[in-house]
Amino acid sequence: MALDPLRIEDEKPPRPAASGKKWVRVTKAVNGIDTEVWEEVADDSGGPQWGARESMRLISREIPRVDGPDKVTGRAVFSHDVRLPGMAYARVLRSRVPAAKVKLDLEPARKIPGVLAVVELGDGEVRWLGRPIAAVAATTPEIAEDGVRAILATYEEQGFAVTAEQAAADNAPKVNSRGNVRALSKNTDTSEIDKALEGSPVRVKGTWKIPVQHHASLESHGVVVDYRGGDEATVYASTQGTFTIPGDAAGRLGLKPNQVTAVVEHMGGGFGSKFGMGIEGEAACLLAKELARPVHLMLDRSSEFHAAGNRSGGEHQIEIGVGRDGKILAFKARVTRHGGVGQGSGHPLPYIYARDNATFVEDRCIHTNMDSSRAMRGPGHPQASFSMEGAMDECAYAVGMDLLEFRRINLPEGKRELYMRQLERCAELIGWKAHPHKQAPDRSDAEVKLGIGFAIARWGGGGNGQCKVEVRIAQDGSVEVLSGTQDLGTGTRTYCASIVAEELGLELAAVRARIGRSTFGNANASGGSTTSPSLAPSVKHASHNARVALFEKVAPLLGAKASELEVRPGEIRVAATPSKRIAWKDACAALGPNGLSAQGEWQAHLAGNDIGGAQAAKVSVDTLTGEVRVLEMVAVQDCGLVLNLLAAKSQLQGGMVQSLSYGLFEERVVDPDLGLFLNANFEDYKIAGAQDIPAMKAVFEDDPRGVIGMSEAAIIPGHSAIANAIHNACGVRLREMPLTADKILMGLAALKKG
């Protein structure tokens, strides 16, 4: 059992471990933010082991997802699909202004035939654009929308600041009581760093601007609350945390958490935005409690953009001093986060590269009257990667050094070998050796130019002891594995079933994985890539315990000791005398009508922590039109034991696609004068489509460690590599995303002017 979690302040545990215990570094996700802690756990290294990779039948192989047929045929039930007898449909009214005091007249909505209930949300004061302020439940979705339109809202509008420039201006309207511009770092003395910069032979300086990105999950936020009065309720939620729901819903329904069951059979994407019920879940609970009937409330797409969070934008001002030998001598940065009414995500600069030099970083956030940012796949890291990797390339060019060699010199000693191995593998796959522009961008007169860029990423990806798993073996030979965990689409059911099948010598189809109910064993929320390294060791432990218990039952039938038995596909046999065997179903028949059940919990030695990855991109730039085409992307990643190679490749490729979309297309656009969100839909908010996706290669290193989550790491470096490839192709350094044609053309024009 985990004891005494402590934040990691250094590389050593805080004190010697107790007898029978040991300290391990584990990762816990708080609202999706990866946080490493020291945790004292049982010294269980003598327990179940993953075994040799080459001996595995199912684990670390390419396995189609067990729930794939249900999803492609439409049998999979998402929260949006839930239909219950007597169910009402709900919609929300959003504030049309960013800051105001609001008075609502709900009676016109209540008078519409078919409207069942109307509730007010909030306290009558709005501090961000699009905040839900009322909700309507009706017999049909269309009538609910009519009810929303019928509500009379009177706004006493106040001054607002929807952009960072507005919020930081003198006499700007106050977004909150803490002030619009808030310092997050204490040190403000730059004298030492300025002196180090002045003494550097080469200096590079620039400002990188990062837009707000939206999660754009296919299934919008929302819940179906099945409450009919009485002392129990079921909530079907599109959430990243099954066990976050009962407590949230209970408070609004007037119940105890153990009286609420959360169900997350399938969910259509979250990327960090779906922790807890949110305002929409609160509204559904209030309506269900008033009506004593089920309520279905899923946000429409515009509400999703306005009120469901985002990846924070920002601005990074960086200045670097470099020696003639390529060594970074001084680093100075001013990081500004744009997180709406929230603080925004950030990662300390300089990102990954060596800090054994004069370093100064000022960190601050600027609050605006926009929806708060939330965790989004790799929170803080993609932003830091964009500015840092761009600055690294500029430094390399400034000293006339190969891009990879410059990185080698400035990588931290303990990680240098890892990253260089990955970068060199990327270089091999992308064709760097034959590329003519390794030390300077292409300055030729060619109309279409090719460029290559690189970037790296790091992530914790460790597990923790929150998962409890049960494996059941029935008398008829059927097997189930149960956990309350949710599947964000990463293939949780498949690896749960494959681990059990591997342990028991069964085919994958012989094991049924049941997940996504709070009545099953506890599980951590899916954030920070902690699910696989938390859940997989627990599944392994439960299946190991089930096998041991089964051996105890079967051993007398074979005239042997339980310790002498082994599993082989479809049978159990005496290891030293293979002729002494019993078929799987015959062995299970001896269990009796109750079968057997075995429990499992996290085993620290079956998980790992701390991963790195490198990506490279090859692009073409049309110097006449400014058009950028990403021709190829490659990624090399370490992540310990790969549970399902097919799914892991999909995750790595999906990260590259999402990162490409972030770099080339995505940007929230707000009218600063009118306070309007101008592209809150999938027509105007641009996302990469099929024709934008390049050829991709996803490579996993041979990593002997246990399971480590890697989904976050997959998205971190791709857009940075693309920006660097554009620079390599044509000499234009784009320091502002999205990396669009107009910016390239303006950059080319500036180069011509010298």
**Assigned CATH for 53-76+463-606:** 3.30.365.10
Buried/exposed code over 202-227 (b: 16+ C-beta within 10 A; e: otherwise): bbbeeebbbbbbbbbbebbbbbbbbb
Residue 8 has pLDDT above 60, yes or no: no
Whole-angstrom Cα distance, residue 26 to residue 466? 11
Closest by CA to 267, choosing from 295, 245, 292, 294, is: 245
**Could you identify the residue written with the tokens 């790091």?**
458
Q: What is the pLDDT of residues 151-162, one digit of tens each?
A: 999 999 999 999
Q: What is the pLDDT of residues 607-617, one digit of tens each?
A: 999 999 999 99
Q: What is the pLDDT of residues 646-668, one digit of tens each?
A: 999 999 999 999 999 999 999 99
∠ CA 375-377-379, nearest 5°, is 50
Query: What pLDDT does 1 receive?
Result: 31
Q: Are 93 and 270 spatial neighbours (Cβ–Cβ below 8 Å)? A: no
Closest by CA to 384, choosing from 420, 412, 355, 350, is: 350
What is the rounded average pLDDT for all residues in the chain? 95
Query: What pLDDT does 503 receive?
Result: 98
Indicate the domain borders of the chain. Answer: 53-76+463-606, 83-158+219-307, 313-461+608-752
Q: What is the pLDDT of residues 728-741, one digit of tens each?
A: 999 999 999 999 99
**Assigned CATH for 83-158+219-307:** 3.90.1170.50
Whole-angstrom Cα distance, residue 61 to residue 321? 47
Query: What pLDDT does 13 receive?
Result: 81
Q: What is the pLDDT of residues 67-102, one digit of tens each?
A: 999 999 999 999 999 999 999 999 999 999 999 999
The answer to whether domain 83-158+219-307 and domain 313-461+608-752 are alike in fold is no
Sign of the alpha-carbon dihedral angle for 86, 266, 467, 66: positive
Q: Provide DSSP, 11-75.
A: SS-SSPPPTTEEEEEEEEEETTEEEEEEEEEE--TTS-----GGG-SSTTB----TTHHHHHHT-
Whole-angstrom Cα distance, residue 406 to residue 396? 6
Side by side, the strands of the sheet bearing 3-7 are 3-7, 33-42, 21-30
Q: What is the pLDDT of residues 498-556, one digit of tens each?
A: 999 999 999 999 999 999 999 999 999 999 999 999 999 999 999 999 999 999 999 99
For domain 313-461+608-752, is the CATH number 3.40.1280.10?
no
Whole-angstrom Cα distance, residue 316 to residue 335? 5
Using CA atoms, how far residue 405 sits from 266, 364, 411, 413, 437, in Å, is 46, 33, 10, 14, 14
